[in-house]
């Protein structure tokens, strides 16, 4: 009985570590919060979009070139001024992230970072570049295919991702680049799977299960002997 139980546990562990499940949008429905603001008194949300914070993980990508400040953008996106604003998506668990899509304003760059628990640091994940053709909210990495993912060169494991505005191309300046300073994010999609424990973790778990099985076996044996 004990050997059969341990064999079942071992097979389940191997199936979990070896089976490859399809990547899904792990950001869907996840909580979005503001973790930094801009000290400039003129900075803040535009067009009454402060209440749209949770929309950027609801899975809705606006039609290509939806204009900043339009009725559709105001209903879905967050629009703001101030490069100091940072928005965090908390995933509620550890995930292995393999790709992403962002729907953001065309004439600004946007920085994405992920939290690396092994180093307790925020590391670069992706820079959504300025788009010089067209206008309005446009997906990155591809403005022509809204379903095309940016595939990471190496998957990363994280439980949170941040996004904030970067350089712009119009009139104001930020980090040495001149630009508009008016940002918009309509959607952030993060693709991945729940993080699988390392083989050493599985080994420890199996040893723990074996120990529990042995204690139970000894207890049953002592009862029979008594």
User: In this predicted model, what pLDDT tens digit does every residue of 9-22 receive, in sequence order?
Assistant: 444 444 444 444 57
DSSP string, 152-217: EEEEEEEEEEEEEEEEESSSEEETTEEE--EEEEEEEEEEEEEPPPPHHHHHHHHHHHHHHHHHHH
Each residue's pLDDT tens digit, 123-176 = 999 999 988 777 899 999 999 999 999 999 999 999 999 999 987 765 444 444
Q: Taking the chain, what is the end-to-end CA distance rounded to the nearest angstrom?
A: 21
Question: Can you give the pLDDT at residue 107?
Answer: 86
Cα distance between residue 88 and residue 54, in whole Å: 11
- Global confidence as pTM: 0.78
Tell me what pLDDT residue 200 has. 55
Q: In this model, does residue 196 exceed pLDDT 90?
A: no
Question: Which band of pLDDT confidence, cut at 50, 70 and 90, is reported for residue 178?
Answer: very low
Q: In this predicted model, what pLDDT tens digit does every residue of 35-54 receive, in sequence order?
A: 999 888 888 999 999 999 99
* Per-chain mean pLDDT for the chain: 83
* CA dist 168 → 49, 105, 159 (Å): 20, 10, 29
What 8-state DSSP symbol labels residue 33?
A: E
Half-sphere exposure of 101 (CA within 13 A, CB side): 25
Phi-psi region of 14 (alpha: psi -120 to 50; beta: other; left: phi over 0): alpha
Mean pLDDT of 65-76: 96
> What is the pLDDT, as a whole number, of residue 177?
45
Measuring CA to CA, which residue among 101, 93, 32 is closest to residue 64? Answer: 101
């Amino acid at each position: 009985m004990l050997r059969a139980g341990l064999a079942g546990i071992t097979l389940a562990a191997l199936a979990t570590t070896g089976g490859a499940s399809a990547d899904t949008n792990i950001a869907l429905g996840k909580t979005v919060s503001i973790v930094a603001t801009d000290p400039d008194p003129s900075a803040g949300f535009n067009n009454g979009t402060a209440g749209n914070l949770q929309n950027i993980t609801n899975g809705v990508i606006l039609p290509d070139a939806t204009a900043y400040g339009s009725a559709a953008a105001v209903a879905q996106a967050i629009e703001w001024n101030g490069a100091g604003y940072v928005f965090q998506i908390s995933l509620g668990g550890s995930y292995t992230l393999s790709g992403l899509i962002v729907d953001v304003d065309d004439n600004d760059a946007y920085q994405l970072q992920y939290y690396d628990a092994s180093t307790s640091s925020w590391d670069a994940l992706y820079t959504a570049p300025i788009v010089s053709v067209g206008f309005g909210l446009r997906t990155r990495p591809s403005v022509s295919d809204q379903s095309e993912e940016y595939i990471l060169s190496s998957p990363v494991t994280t439980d949170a991702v941040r996004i904030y505005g970067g350089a712009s191309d119009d009139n104001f300046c930020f980090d040495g680049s001149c630009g508009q300073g008016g940002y918009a994010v309509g959607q952030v999609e993060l693709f991945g799977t729940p993080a699988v424990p390392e083989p050493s973790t599985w080994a420890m778990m199996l040893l723990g299960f074996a120990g529990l099985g042995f204690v139970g076996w000894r207890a049953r044996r002592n009862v029979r002997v008594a």
